[in-house]
Each structure stands twice: as structure tokens, then as C-alpha cells.
Amino acid sequence: MLRVYSVLFGCGAVLTDFHKSLRLYRAVAGVSLLTCAAVYVTAGLLCLGRLKRARSRREAERAKVTGEMAALEAKRRELEGLLATYATD
């Protein structure tokens, strides 16, 4: 078991070309995985920013429409009151 450990991790043993290239491939794979993770995290953060802006726009639009609806409802009540006053005359 010690020999396998020393061959795989290079602890004092002489490494063959295969093991050197294997170590290089592992290092390259680790760096590429780290790079991919960084890209995904960055893209996720940028996407969250877009989602937050879209949500705030939607909420602002909803507040604006709610205000307009309240104004229209008040106008309708006023017109119904006027109609009721003229209908009784």
C-alpha cells in the first residue's frame, strides 16, 4: 500500500513518465474545473442582478397600475354619484 501511495502522490519514489504526465493531467483538470466553477459563479451573480432588476421593474409597474386603478375607481364612483343625482331630478 505504501508503494501505491508513493507512486500516486510522489512521496520519495522515482516517477515514471506516465506518472508525471498523469500528475500534469490531474493538475490541468483541477485548474479547468476551478475555472469552470468561477465562470458559473460569475454568470450566476450576473443573472441574479438581472432578475432583481426585472422584479423591481415589475413591482414599480404594478404599483403604477394599482394607482391608476384606484384613480379610475374614484372617478367611476364620482360619475355614478353624479348620474344618481341627475337621474332623481
What residue numbers bound the domain in which 49 lies? 2-64
Total domain count, the chain: 1
CA–CA separation, 37 vs 40, rounded Å?
A: 5
* Mean pLDDT estimate for the chain: 87
Residues 20 and 27 sit within 8 Å (Cβ to Cβ)? no
What is the reported pTM? 0.48
Amino acid (1-letter code) at residue 77: R
Q: Is residue 40 part of a domain?
A: yes
Over residues 49-71, mean pLDDT = 94
Q: Is residue 81 part of a domain?
A: no
The pLDDT score that the predictor gives to residue 1 is 47
